[in-house]
């Protein structure tokens, strides 16, 4: 038995999210089906770094599984990709130590959120960018990002639908936004993120960018620990799980 770790990218547009559930097709299901086919019908459970919501994408999601197959490391990638649909792609495959864990061993997770900031939408990126028509003040959003960094209780930025019972203290190592033509890219790196946390942060930053709130609104909202104080949850299609880092 060997443990395998994979880096996978997926276009979440046509999925009900990463994690297997009763209503809707999921990424996990497609990956487990591919592994089952490779293992001649035997079920193989995969453990990912975490879940992503419906219509959210990944370029660097990670997962691990155990196998008795003796496929050389370099052949695993093609073996899996030929059994996966066109919107899921295994980027790399690695043999790892027996006690490696894709979720518990992750030390940093990076998310990026892409906004198309111009008058007209661009139909070709409608599933991968969130369209914001109004002018966004990039400097105000950049100032607000600095208040996100650090160790805070992010209760105000956690969906009420969370199943987290314990602490909502998380450390954000990096939060920034940059303008690149008519695109605004938000980058967040942290020890971990609460349910919908990145999307609520972005929703709040957009309100700040529009001038509806001051940058310091982030500080007040963190201190309030009240989800009702924060901005709207930004739509899923701009969000990408970008990278998961291990020791």
Q: Which residues are annotated as a binding site for substrate?
A: 111
Strands 106-117 and 239-246: antiparallel
Per-residue mark of binding to a copy of itself, 9-38 (x: CB under 8 A): xxx---------------------------
Q: Give whole-number Cα distances, 22 to 25, 26, 164, 224, in Å.
A: 8, 9, 21, 36
By CB under 8 A, residue 124 contacts a copy of itself: yes
By CB under 8 A, residue 180 contacts a copy of itself: no
Contact 121, 131 (CB under 8 A): yes
Is 53 a residue of the active site?
Answer: yes
Q: Which stretch binds a copy of itself (CB under 8 A): 6-14, 61-69, 105-113, 208-216?
A: 6-14
By CB under 8 A, residue 57 contacts a copy of itself: yes
Q: How far is the CB of 71 from a copy of itself (least distance, A)?
A: 19
Q: How far is the CB of 66 from a copy of itself (least distance, A)?
A: 26
Round to the nearest angstrom and report the end-to-end CA distance of the chain.
23
* DSSP structure string for 43-81: ----EES----TT-EEEEEEEEEEE-----HHHHHHHHH
Q: How far is the CB of 122 from a copy of itself (least distance, A)?
A: 8
User: What is the C-alpha separation between 145 and 172, in angstroms, rounded?
Assistant: 10
Which tokens go with 184?
């605004």
Q: Which of 55, 128, 170, 189 binds a copy of itself (CB under 8 A)?
A: 128
Per-residue mark of binding to a copy of itself, 75-104 (x: CB under 8 A): -----------xxxx-x-------------
Residues with a catalytic annotation lie at: 53
């Amino acid at each position: 038995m060997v443990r395998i770790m994979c880096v996978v990218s997926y276009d979440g547009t046509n999925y009900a999210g990463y994690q297997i559930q009763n209503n809707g097709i999921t990424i996990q299901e497609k990956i487990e089906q591919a592994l089952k086919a490779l293992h001649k019908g035997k079920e193989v459970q995969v453990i990912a770094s975490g879940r992503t919501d419906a219509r959210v994408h990944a370029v660097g999601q990670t997962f691990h599984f155990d196998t008795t197959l003796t496929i050389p490391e370099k052949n695993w990638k093609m073996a899996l990709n030929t059994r996966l649909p066109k919107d899921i792609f295994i980027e790399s495959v690695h043999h790892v130590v027996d006690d490696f864990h894709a979720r518990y061993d992750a030390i940093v997770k990076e998310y990026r959120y892409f906004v198309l900031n111009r008058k007209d939408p661009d139909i070709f990126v409608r599933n991968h960018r969130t369209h914001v028509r109004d002018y966004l003040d990039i400097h105000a959003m950049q100032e607000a990002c600095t208040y996100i960094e650090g160790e805070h209780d992010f209760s105000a930025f956690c969906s009420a639908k969370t199943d987290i019972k314990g602490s909502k203290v998380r450390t954000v190592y990096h939060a920034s936004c940059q303008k690149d033509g008519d695109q605004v890219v938000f980058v967040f790196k942290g020890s971990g993120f609460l349910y919908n946390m990145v999307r609520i942060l972005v929703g709040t930053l957009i309100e700040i960018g529009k001038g509806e709130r001051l940058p310091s609104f982030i500080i007040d909202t963190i201190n309030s620990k009240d989800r009702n104080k924060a901005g709207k949850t930004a739509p899923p299609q701009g969000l990408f799980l970008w990278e998961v880092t291990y020791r």
